[in-house]
Structure 1
Amino acid sequence: MKTDDCSLVVESPYPDLVINIGAVTLGEGNRNKLQKTQREQEKAKVTQAACALLNSGGGVIWLEMANEDEHPVELGLDLEQSLRALIQSSDLHAFFETKQQGRCCYIFVKSWSSDTFPEDSSVKPRICSLGTSLYRRSGTSVLPIDSREAFTFLKTKKRDAENSPINEGSPSSEIPKAGHQILESRPAHQVFQRDRFEYGEVLPFPESQFTEFKQFSTKHIQGYLKSLIPEYVPAFANSGGGYLFIGVDDKSKKILGCAKENVDRDSLESLIAKAISKLPVVHFCSSQTPVGYETKIIDVFHREKLYGYLCVIRVEPFCCPVFSKAPSSWMVKDEHVCSLTTEEWVDMMVDTGPELTEAFESQLSHRPPSCRPVYSKKSLEHKVDLQQRLFPVPPGHLQYTPESLWKELSSEHEGLEELINEQMRPFSQGILIFSRSWAVDLNLQEQQGVICDALLIAQNSSPILYSVLREQDVDGQFCTRTAFTLKQKLVNMGGYTGKLCVMTKVFRLSPESHAEPLSGSGSPVDYPTSYNLADTQQMEALLQSLVIVLLSFRSFLSDQLGCEVLNLLTAQQYEIFSKNLHKNRELFVHGLPGSGKTIMAMKIMEKIRNTFHCEANKILYVCENQPLRDFISNKRICQAVTRKTFMKNNFKEIQHIIIDEAQNFRTEDGDWYEKAKSITQREKGHPGILWIFLDYFQTSHLVDNGLPHFSVQYPREELTRVVRNADPIANYLQKVMQVIIKNPPFNIPPGSLEMLREAQWAQGVRGNLKIVACLDLEQMVVQVAEKCRFFLRNGYSPKDIAVLFSKASEVEKYKDKFLKEMKKKKVSEINDASILASHILLDSIRRFSGLERIIVFGINPRVAEPAIFNNLLLCLASRAQKHLYILTLSN
């Protein structure tokens, strides 16, 4: 993005995006008196601010009336027309409402959303634009492509480009040849081959879809060509190619040319080349070739003397979209209104979200422009179910939730109950959601001195965020920033598409239980009544967006897909995540395989950072294996080390520790648990966080793991909702776990396995489980390579596949053999063994603990200690999301 020339800036601090555009003349009569330049400048400010807010979650345009009217006046016809052009609708009220107070006028702008269009419409552009800068040919005319047409046009171009011979491996030179063949079949081609014409000669064909006649301008030839080329060349390139004749009368078809005294042949060609080189192109294909064209300057004679020149530009059909200039579209970034680049605009226009497998269910049928796709695993709670469970709207009364937190807060702070009850008297139905810090809930840093926050979602009211502060000085504007973040996230993360603002009310509660309202925060003006939540349906829709804001996390799929995708926590995961860290400094979290322990560990570290105002170097993540360590380290939310490194170093700066996969820790290098406790309890009276995640079912050794005895692992929580695996794999896991329960290894406390009774398994996801007997390891490697080729041919990525051996030594022994087998047949364009080695993961079962892939091959799972064979098998199987192949030696 680039900051626009008018440099519109977002005003702060308010709980919404507020753009002050300065003085603007309002009223039809007043605007008609303005000079054209001033009228256009004012219209540009209004239009750019409106477009930026439409694309950035909505907000308020704040302007000062330049006219002297003492009473409110209308905007003015030209301003209204420009706003209608933005939304491509006559219904301005759907997105814009105005209010005038004295000399100030406020335009309230709702976020843009594709649900603006009818449900049965297939044309739903993702972003709002004043102009696309795209043109096409229609008969003998050049027509601008509006946003609706652009959405379909770009989708078609992208599909055709991705399926073109270039992307299938054909030489790129073959594509221009095809364009030449098309143009050579046109009647204009014969004329294009000639070297001279007579003045007044009539061309033997008319204007058409593929030919356009234009005369030379008698004045300002350079400026005329600069305006002509960005319109006609992209139109031909986007519509099958064609010929632009400059110097021909379009009615008589007579060649008139341009007098040689008025134009220089070489400068003419240079001017055309420069103008075409500036045309923005966005490639969907892999060719990256420029617009194909050829310019021919042909002599025009009059009575056997050189009179001047005819200019013909032959434009080849182009694989991808060609623009006249960057589209006219804006967004708010870093408190400035910025114009989108052509590439950014195209990315947003065609961003319909990734096509995921049937294992995932989309949570958003419509998304505002900045909102990322949100998916949940199939058969898990949908956002509607999560909202009904976590934030139900009670019929006919106002409910305080969570009830336990409300009771705790009201007992701790005298006068709080009276304050809240007094504030809630005007409201008859809705829900008041308490938090010790809504800032932390929104991934902001906690503000010291805040007793609690409460978010009111009530009928006939806009959402209100109440903040109750202690008597000591607290930055009241902090509450405004929290409300601003909440509003932005409800739209740009939660996908809320209605009119929305979040009001703030701040109180200071003294030790004498006196409540004092604080001023200086809030909106610059009262919002229209249409911003109030009218009924239960609107309240629930907003709460469903709130569920996404609070429960979403960056999906592991994001790295595989190359785009940001969000998943949702389960209600069980969220209940653990929402614990008060000040009162839960130490916690043991037992989780069944595939219940999301590593996800929870990552979320908790983010919460620790905001709750305790600490940097990533103060938080330590410890696991047993290097691949999991590297995975977490790449997230840049903490320091990540293995247990061995943890035991070697001092970690003097560390305040908080998260232990993952603790069932596989060992005491060979010392008592890791006591060391972790001593580090987190260094500061007397202010202990750090020590959360330990483990799963005894996946224990992979028989030595002492260093954990406290099961009976004293307290406080303890359990994750029993298994969310990772497809149905056949989940069923297999249950069988293996039952075998482990009947005959557990001696180092696993029997009581730790009873949590299986509470297990819930996500169902409805198809997948494969096959156990294959082979003669030897070499045959296994051959079969796995063949199956990998099959998956790659069918659209899977090398990053989707993990091949797991029993031991690291086997990986090194058979790695070259596997790569040799993979190279025997061509798989798409992936022939390089080094590429395969870096993307198809080959590792041992133990080292891959805590990670996952869509497709997992287990090669001859076996262990030295038979007592833990089933545990290793369970660990192997639980790594697979959808397809699992276990290859064993035949007897």
Structure 2
Amino acid sequence: MNKNHCPLEVDPSYPDLVINVGAVTLGEENRNDLQKNQRVQEKEKVIQAACALLNSGGGVILVEMAKKEERSMEMGLDLEQALRELIQSTDLHDFFETVQKGTRFYIFVKSWSNDICTTDHLVKPRICSLSSSLYRRSGTSVCCLNSREALSLLTKKKDVKRSPINENSPSTEHLIFEQHPASQVFQIDRFKYGYVLPFPESELVEFKQFSTKSIAEYLKKRIPEYVPAFANTRGGYLFIGVENNTRKVLGCAKENVDCESLIGEIEVAISKLPVFHFCSSQHRIDHYFEIRFAKVFQQESLYGYLCMIKVKPSCCVVFSDTPSSWVVKDKRVCKLTVKDWVDKMVDTDPKLLEAFECQLSISASPPKCRPVFSKKGLEHKKDLQQCLFPVSSGHLQYTPESLWKELCLEHEGLEKLINRQVQRFSWGILILSRSWAVDLNLQEKEGVICDALLIAPNSPPILYTILREKVTKKCTDTAFTLKQKLVNLGGYLGKLCIKSEVFHLDPEGNAEHLGDSSSSIDYPESYKLADTQQMEALLQSLVIVLLGFTSFLSDELGCEVLNLLTHQQYEILSKNLHKTKELFVHGLPGSGKTIMAMKIMEKIRNVFHCETKKILYICETQPLRDFISHKNICQAVTRKTFMKYNFDDILHIIIDEAQNFRTEDGEWYNKAKTITRREKDCPGILWIFLDYFQTTHMHYSGLPALSYQNSREELTRMVRNADPIAHYLWQNIEVIRKNPPPSIPRGSLEMLSEATWAQDVSGNVKHRTFSDVEKMMVYVAERCQHFFKNGYSPRHIAVLLNKAEVVEEYKEKLVRAMRRSRHQLDEDAHVLVQIKDALHITDNCIVLDSVRRFSGLERNIVFGINPRPIEQAIFHNLLLCLASRAKKHLYLLTDDGKISN
């Protein structure tokens, strides 16, 4: 069996992580009667399950009592002590509660979080571990580090991030190690029996002497302790064949030592030690040690050998074995790899730009949570909760109210059924959905009329599922996923279970209760929501679950970061896709249209059970096409490609940046509509995202007249840009509204009256005029160097031109200017910054391309070069499109002063 897996698995019949560990003997007296091996095996099953649940969002350990004749039972002191050591606390109640029901014993496990179970104000590790498998020297002893001590060591090693030690520039630590007297003794190849070494045992020196003949077996046991301990401290020397108290060299009798064979066995034992590198060296473990055998003579006769192992101080971390830390993965209990364990232990919130504020920090969240940030000035998760899911102590609120009325009209008997189930609750909130599965990014369950989530005091959350048919299979999946996401995504810290109730409602309105999937487990009272504070905390976690999406910042930061949708965005995404087959979404610049397009494609996949190859995303430019393609949620093509081929397999189409489409290759809208209406009984989705204000051409776009865009929504909250940039956008929008180009319908411009943007987000808009292009490029290069010195990287910068034809010309000029300014960089920034076109938007390079090709994309810093369109009528449209690409800093540069404010 793979040592990284144990035979424990999750029982799939519950809406929670329930691990059945089988028969376990309970009670102190009964456990004392067990043989040692059996007691250890039973304890390992329980604490591995507990560790896995702590690290995976919590759950239940189901124990079958080995002695079924016993009526009442406690766990036993050894089990309780093991659980205390696991959480490093004397108070088990913080994370564990127990309930006995017949011959079954339940251990309820709350998710681990490092913000509680502490009164000593020490930093707590993000995950629980049975053993860190990390050793260090402490004086003359070797000690295995507990989780807190291991975190301290890992943090220190990570912060140092030293380069590999070398002879030309040795560190202070390395000098101390090499100058120790043991270093000279290590070079000696001949000793007299009884020779007294000129130094005692210390942190850097260990003496061992023993009478056993099996030196190989002894070393195999000791090497996984001593070699990592020395490596993780300051290096050291292990002398085998030296009497501890007297420091006398006695050696190991020659008849017990085969030096060549023993060296091989030591090397094999050391080679198995896992190493984790924080630095760039990636050295194997054999880089850090040397083995020597010195002859020991008694008078003139060879008596034996002194075995010496030299362990260099390691800039990285050496383990004795894979840490014993467990998680639930794919419904199985699995051991974390060394890399995953270290990554979890040292994980911290990324440092974001000041434009963002933290909604959920991983420093006080369950182990699987990712950080959640939102743009400053937008709704906080608490504000969104109060808006979407308000809790009033006076009554039981049904939300969304419009959906509740629709459902009651569509399904006879539904109102009576729901009211009967919730009548015992005097207040709280009932959150309705046509499919909570889809809301949780699962596939829509067939035959479900609706789901309703009840959040009320003195009760655990209850998910009611109403079915058209008497099929209960997989009905617990939604409740299970909801519980997992509330903890592992939403960061809920309380004790939590989701009760699942399933009903059948026939066409005549007759209801039948099909069961409570969690009724066989009686959760403790502490799993009920106690008051408004707990209810609102849970609902704020629900906001993150429903409105969270992977931020574009994730690629930039190298780790997953979540942002939150705005209330306006969420309302549009919550639409019933079965009834909203076609929709035109008009969005102001920076209102999140591309994010919305991506989210709706994920929803389409789940609602209609279709493969990604059945969903087509169409845009005007190749860079945006490639950017979406890398998300693996659809097929992505440009409009020109769309008009060349038939796309016979496509069912659903999403169109982005549609205001810049043209009809020179054919009527794209009619073709898209024909494709999505192939199946008359069940037409596909056709959603079109556009912003007439950003139209950068004078041709017919192919969009239907505004009066024919019958189903239409608006995004009027600009969320991308800093305050000064948003204000600049508004000024240009106002100019366009008063004097629109002929190709833009006037009625579409009325949405400006509702425009808002995130306030108090710092940034700037600067206009500069230059006498020639070369001086302009020198200025761009100097500003880039300034930003690099202040923490930005090339991936934050874009240089945008008015025409694609001049890109190569300006690239040559900018490359020369960047080379001339390299001396202003720090000494270690010796690599020339790369400049590429927008097809490389995800690379760490400065993007230099045309405004039109950069449509739909964004960067923190944008330089707009001579933004003068050929058609003067769309001058402000081009400026608007250009400016909206900048999130924080916008520079508008011209060589003749013709830019208008």
- Shorter-chain-normalised TM-score: which range? over 0.9
**Are positions 1:248 and 2:242 aligned together?**
yes
Structure-to-structure mapping, 1:366-765, within 5 angstroms: 366-470=364-468, 472-474=469-471, 476-519=472-515, 521-522=517-518, 524-765=520-761
CA distance in 2, matches of 1:202, 1:577: 80
The equivalent position to 1:236 in structure 2, one of 226, 230, 234, is 230
Instruction: For residues 243-268 of structure 1, give each alpha carbon's deviation from its aligned partner in whole angstroms, at most 9, with x where no partner exists.
Output: 22222222222222211111112223
Q: How many aligned residue pairs are there?
A: 883
**Are positions 1:276 and 2:270 aligned together?**
yes
The equivalent position to 2:180 in structure 1, one of 180, 186, 193, is 186
Question: Structure 1's 350 and 217: CA in aligned 2 closer, same or farther, altered over 3 A?
Answer: farther
- AA paired with 2:219? L
Give the match for residue 204 of structure 1.
198
- AA paired with 2:207? F
**Are positions 1:221 and 2:215 aligned together?**
yes
Give the match for residue 871 of structure 1.
877
CA distance in 1, matches of 2:141, 2:633: 56
Q: Retained in 2: the 8 A contact 1:477–1:521?
A: no
Instruction: For residues 110-159 of structure 1, give each alpha carbon's deviation from its aligned partner in whole angstroms, at most 9, with x where no partner exists.
Output: 11111125488351211110111111222222222211122222111111
Q: Retained in 2: the 8 A contact 1:397–1:430?
A: yes
DSSP-derived class of the 1:885 partner: strand
Q: Retained in 1: the 8 A contact 2:629–2:636?
A: yes
The equivalent position to 1:360 in structure 2, one of 351, 356, 372, is 356
DSSP-derived class of the 1:363 partner: strand
* 1:368 CA displacement: 1.0
Q: Retained in 1: the 8 A contact 2:502–2:516?
A: no
* 1:573 CA displacement: 0.5
Query: Which region of structure 1 is more displaced relative to structure 2, 575-584 or 363-372?
Result: 363-372
The equivalent position to 2:854 in structure 1, one of 845, 848, 851, is 848
**Runs of 4+ with deviation above 4 angstroms:** 117-120, 171-180, 826-830, 832-838
Q: Retained in 2: the 8 A contact 1:135–1:231?
A: yes
Structure-to-structure mapping, 1:783-802, within 5 angstroms: 783-802=779-798
CA distance in 2, matches of 1:767, 1:34: 70
- AA paired with 2:303? Y
* 1:732 CA displacement: 1.7
Q: Retained in 1: the 8 A contact 2:163–2:281?
A: no
Give the match for residue 12 of structure 1.
12
CA distance in 2, matches of 1:49, 1:293: 37
* 1:829 CA displacement: 4.8
- AA paired with 1:36? K
CA distance in 1, matches of 2:576, 2:707: 23
Which runs of no fewer than 5 residues in structure 1 stay unpaired? Answer: none
DSSP-derived class of the 1:115 partner: coil
Structure-to-structure mapping, 1:339-358, within 5 angstroms: 339-358=335-354
Query: Which region of structure 1 is more displaced relative to structure 2, 243-252 or 347-356?
Result: 243-252
CA distance in 2, matches of 1:125, 1:152: 9
Structure-to-structure mapping, 1:39-78, within 5 angstroms: 39-78=39-78
CA distance in 2, matches of 1:883, 1:122: 40
**Are positions 1:293 and 2:299 aligned together?**
no
Give the match for residue 84 of structure 2.
84
DSSP-derived class of the 1:654 partner: coil
Give the match for residue 129 of structure 1.
129
Question: Structure 1's 861 and 122: CA in aligned 2 closer, same or farther, altered over 3 A?
Answer: farther
Give the match for residue 888 of structure 2.
882
CA distance in 2, matches of 1:757, 1:283: 56
DSSP-derived class of the 1:717 partner: strand
Q: Retained in 1: the 8 A contact 2:487–2:493?
A: yes
Q: Retained in 2: the 8 A contact 1:2–1:340?
A: no
Question: Structure 1's 629 and 751: CA in aligned 2 closer, same or farther, altered over 3 A?
Answer: same
CA distance in 2, matches of 1:231, 1:176: 26
Give the match for residue 116 of structure 1.
116
Question: Structure 1's 411 and 217: CA in aligned 2 closer, same or farther, altered over 3 A?
Answer: farther
Give the match for residue 138 of structure 1.
138
CA distance in 2, matches of 1:287, 1:700: 51
Give the match for residue 261 of structure 1.
255
- AA paired with 1:270? G
Question: Structure 1's 71 and 403: CA in aligned 2 closer, same or farther, altered over 3 A?
Answer: same
Give the match for residue 35 of structure 1.
35
CA distance in 2, matches of 1:698, 1:491: 41
CA distance in 2, matches of 1:68, 1:679: 65
CA distance in 2, matches of 1:3, 1:221: 27
Instruction: For residues 735-791 of structure 1, give each alpha carbon's deviation from its aligned partner in whole angstroms, at most 9, with x where no partner exists.
Output: 222222232212222222221221111022222322221222333233323332333
- AA paired with 2:723? D
Question: Structure 1's 714 and 473: CA in aligned 2 closer, same or farther, altered over 3 A?
Answer: same
Q: Retained in 2: the 8 A contact 1:217–1:224?
A: no
* 1:106 CA displacement: 1.4
CA distance in 2, matches of 1:492, 1:243: 45
Give the match for residue 158 of structure 2.
158
- AA paired with 1:544? Q
Question: Structure 1's 762 and 172: CA in aligned 2 closer, same or farther, altered over 3 A?
Answer: farther
Q: Retained in 2: the 8 A contact 1:727–1:765?
A: yes
CA distance in 2, matches of 1:427, 1:257: 80
DSSP-derived class of the 1:544 partner: helix
CA distance in 2, matches of 1:4, 1:310: 37
TM-score (normalised: structure 2): 0.95
CA distance in 2, matches of 1:378, 1:453: 34
CA distance in 2, matches of 1:565, 1:173: 41
DSSP-derived class of the 1:288 partner: coil
* 1:176 CA displacement: 6.3
Q: Retained in 2: the 8 A contact 1:97–1:109?
A: yes
Q: Retained in 2: the 8 A contact 1:798–1:836?
A: no
- AA paired with 1:17? L
Give the match for residue 26 of structure 2.
26
Question: Structure 1's 2 and 732: CA in aligned 2 closer, same or farther, altered over 3 A?
Answer: farther
Question: Structure 1's 5 and 664: CA in aligned 2 closer, same or farther, altered over 3 A?
Answer: closer
CA distance in 2, matches of 1:784, 1:99: 68
**Are positions 1:311 and 2:317 aligned together?**
no
DSSP-derived class of the 1:159 partner: helix
Question: Structure 1's 429 and 71: CA in aligned 2 closer, same or farther, altered over 3 A?
Answer: same
TM-score (normalised: structure 1): 0.96
CA distance in 1, matches of 2:214, 2:84: 35
- AA paired with 1:159? D
Q: Retained in 2: the 8 A contact 1:117–1:124?
A: no
DSSP-derived class of the 2:714 partner: strand
* 1:178 CA displacement: 6.3
* 1:833 CA displacement: 6.5
CA distance in 2, matches of 1:232, 1:178: 22
CA distance in 1, matches of 2:818, 2:155: 35
DSSP-derived class of the 1:408 partner: helix
